[in-house]
Chains A and B, each alone.
Chain A
Amino acid sequence: MATIVRAPQYRLPAWFQNNRRLTIGWGTTLIIALLFPLMLNPTGHIQDITGDVVEGEIYAMLALGLNVVVGFAGLLDLGYAAFFAIGAYSFGMLSSSHFLPSSSFSSPFISWGPNGIHANFWFFLLACAMLAALFGLILGAPTLRLRGDYLAIVTLGFGEIVHKVVVNLGPGSTINAFGWPDITGGTNSLDGIFQPSFGPVQFSTDQVPWYYLGLGVLAVIIVIAYSLQNSRLGRAWVAMREDELAAACMGINLRNTKLLAFSMGAFFSGFAGVVQGSRLTLVDPSQFTFQISISILVMVVLGGIGSVPGVVLGAGIIALLQFYLLHQLNDWMHLAGTTANIGLLQHIDLTQAQYLIFGIMLVIMMIFRREGLIPSSQRRRELRPADESVLAEENQSLYTVRSGEA
């Protein structure tokens, strides 16, 4: 009688088996992302394109942060650019030649002298993000009792206030008459921000180091976003989004849960602000307008509210449209216009119609795919409760039920 010899089976880690699609997806993305600058031009760097790609990475950081507030906790925030501004300005003020102190001081974290203030980038990347998180709490506290539209209006107001404060704390505004110094640079922008170095790598106009820095920060944010989603806090957010009263009945502290959503969301945008400020060596109020808040919200909605990969994809698509596709389309239109001798096509400027295009995209989305391009399993269930395939891939239960009951 023949005996069947079984080859020893190699078993993949349980985490990988449960999240195979996720691991493969992110793994592929990571490999492509790591090799991306080489693929563009193996011999040198195409600075323009990688610069826009870094911009796209910053969009993704912002979108992931807003996703915590809007997607996980269900709190509509229309003034999210404010936290981006707080991160960028706080780092800009602490690490530039904007302020020229007369005294001198030196420490590993921060040093100052007549040449300006020098803050340690790596330490203040975290510190400024925490400051943004603190402002998240400050915004969150008075809005605890507000929901839906009312919350959106207050956050919208907060975004505008931060923008106006930044403009008005600069030169040439009325506060100078009262002897206030120039704090933010106002519409003149705050420039001369110092750029970091990492070992032998000096960050400067070459965008490739920035690209890898952005990738690193983004990876950290993605890991944090996933762990938040699967944490106790993440569950509390979902419960609160579903039904606040029922969530309170479960013993969820609504106040802390909401405040943590705002501050965690703001924390991510603080990272984005520091990287952006240092990369461009200047921060200007025009970078933090209401339009930016709306663009970030569009990325979240387009990609899939509450879905980490979706939101990253959404940011990528918006960045691609804004920095590349619209310009390309413009050129084609102009070419077509010149060839066919149509005046309208020769002078059309699609970059001016950016928000119109975003708007049209959203309308189409809402008709055909409300849950976003890569929907979160939660959101998909909410919008398509009867979909059998959705029920089949039900989330793993946190607790295993006594054996023999499967």
Chain B
Amino acid sequence: MTMLQFNGVHTYYGPIHVLKGVNYRVEEGEIVCLLGANGAGKTTTMKTILGLVRPTEGTVVFKGQEIGKMTPSQVVKAGIAPVPEGRRVFSRMSVSENLELGAYVRSDHKAIADDMSRVFDLFPRLKERRKQLAGLMSGGEQQMLAIGRAMMARPTLLIMDEPSMGLSPIFVERVFDTVQSINKQGVTIFMVEQNANMALTIANRGYVLQNGEVVLENDAASLLQSELVRKTYLGEAIEVS
């Protein structure tokens, strides 16, 4: 089943044309990775899914339902949970308060308590620190909290905007491990990443975005081998002829 589909989506910030007719497709159970340079439109893609940016043309379809005109709260209720860029944890709230807010759209208290235990199983670190203010934790712990918080909404699709940004190499690896284990629990993942090597290692498929257009689309293994990705994102030496 197709989880998420972009059909010729165009978006604008005022006069600036950002996404220029992009098409993405995310199948159920996949990890799909979106690569691109700064300003290519990766974050705009995430904002478009959430309903923070409206497509002027084209449709965004989630499980057969058009979500392009929905508000963020409707999108989250439909089953999409975001892990926003820069983590954006509620820094002056405790870890458990952050997780409770993640379950804001739900009202099944018993299941929420179970899910909180599940998040603590996934991140024992958070359990230790559940009474601590989120803002006093390290970047990696905050990223775990942001992921845990998104999981509290019991999403079917998790959208992640640069989960490895600003993290130490050990935490980057941990975050990608977590992404994989969440995926194994049946959650589909669509993520934006700068760390192409790591992202493509765990992803099923990937898209490369340049100036608002998809220039390359393939399964992850082939993308890792492709010349464009190797030269642009993996820092391989460009031969001067």
Q: What residues of chain B lie closer than 8 Å to A405, measured between beta carbons?
A: 117, 120, 127
Q: Looking at the complex, which one of A238, A385, A397 makes contact with B135 (CB distance below 8 Å)?
A: A385
The answer to whether residues A402 and B117 also contact, given A238-B93, A249-B82, A251-B73 and a CB cut-off of 8 A, is: yes
- Bound Cα distance from A130 to B93, whole angstroms: 33
- Bound Cα distance from A255 to B52, whole angstroms: 13
The answer to whether residues A251 and B105 also contact, given A385-B135, A391-B131, A400-B113 and a CB cut-off of 8 A, is: yes
**Restricting to B42-97, which residues have a CB under 8 Å from any CB of A?**
50, 52, 71-73, 75-77, 81-82, 84, 88-94, 96-97
Q: Looking at the complex, which one of B92, B93, B114, B153 makes contact with A251 (CB distance below 8 Å)?
A: B153
A242 near B132: Cβ-Cβ < 8 Å: no
A385 near B104: Cβ-Cβ < 8 Å: no
**What class of interface size applies to chain A in its complex with B?**
20 to 34
Q: What residues of chain B lie closer than 8 Å to A397, measured between beta carbons?
A: 96-97, 100, 130
- Bound Cα distance from A254 to B72, whole angstroms: 9
* Contacts between the two chains (Cβ within 8 Å), count: 101
B102: CB under 8 A from chain A? yes
B216: CB under 8 A from chain A? no
Q: What residues of chain B lie closer than 8 Å to A253, measured between beta carbons?
A: 71, 73
The answer to whether residues A398 and B117 also contact, given A249-B88, A391-B132 and a CB cut-off of 8 A, is: no
Within the complex, the shortest CB–CB distance from B124 to chain A, in Å, comes to 10
**Restricting to B92-112, which residues have a CB under 8 Å from any CB of A?**
92-94, 96-97, 100-102, 104-105, 109, 112
- Bound Cα distance from A239 to B234, whole angstroms: 39
Q: What residues of chain A lie closer than 8 Å to B228, measured between beta carbons?
A: none
Q: What residues of chain A lie closer than 8 Å to B114, measured between beta carbons?
A: 402
B113 near A252: Cβ-Cβ < 8 Å: no
B224: CB under 8 A from chain A? no
- Bound Cα distance from A238 to B93, whole angstroms: 9
Q: What residues of chain B lie closer than 8 Å to A382, measured between beta carbons?
A: 92
The answer to whether residues A399 and B73 also contact, given A248-B52, A391-B133 and a CB cut-off of 8 A, is: no
- Bound Cα distance from A238 to B92, whole angstroms: 10
Q: Looking at the complex, which one of B72, B77, B88, B100 makes contact with A398 (CB distance below 8 Å)?
A: B100
The answer to whether residues A252 and B104 also contact, given A378-B92, A395-B97, A399-B113 and a CB cut-off of 8 A, is: yes
Q: What residues of chain A lie closer than 8 Å to B135, measured between beta carbons?
A: 385
B93 near A250: Cβ-Cβ < 8 Å: no
Within the complex, the shortest CB–CB distance from B9 to chain A, in Å, comes to 20
Q: What residues of chain B lie closer than 8 Å to A245, measured between beta carbons?
A: 52, 84, 88
Q: Looking at the complex, which one of A239, A385, A386 makes contact with B90 (CB distance below 8 Å)?
A: A239
Query: B115: nearest residue on chain A (CB-CB)?
Result: A399
A381: CB under 8 A from chain B? yes
B37: CB under 8 A from chain A? no
Q: What residues of chain A lie closer than 8 Å to B97, measured between beta carbons?
A: 235, 395, 397
A–B pairs, 30, beta carbons within 8 Å: A235-B104, A242-B91, A243-B90, A245-B84, A245-B88, A246-B84, A246-B88, A248-B72, A249-B50, A249-B84, A249-B88, A249-B150, A250-B76, A250-B102, A250-B153, A252-B104, A381-B92, A385-B136, A391-B131, A391-B132, A394-B94, A397-B97, A397-B130, A399-B100, A400-B113, A401-B116, A401-B117, A401-B130, A405-B117, A405-B127
Interface set of A (CB-CB < 8 Å, partner B): 232, 235-236, 238-239, 242-243, 245-255, 378, 381-382, 385-386, 391, 394-395, 397-402, 405
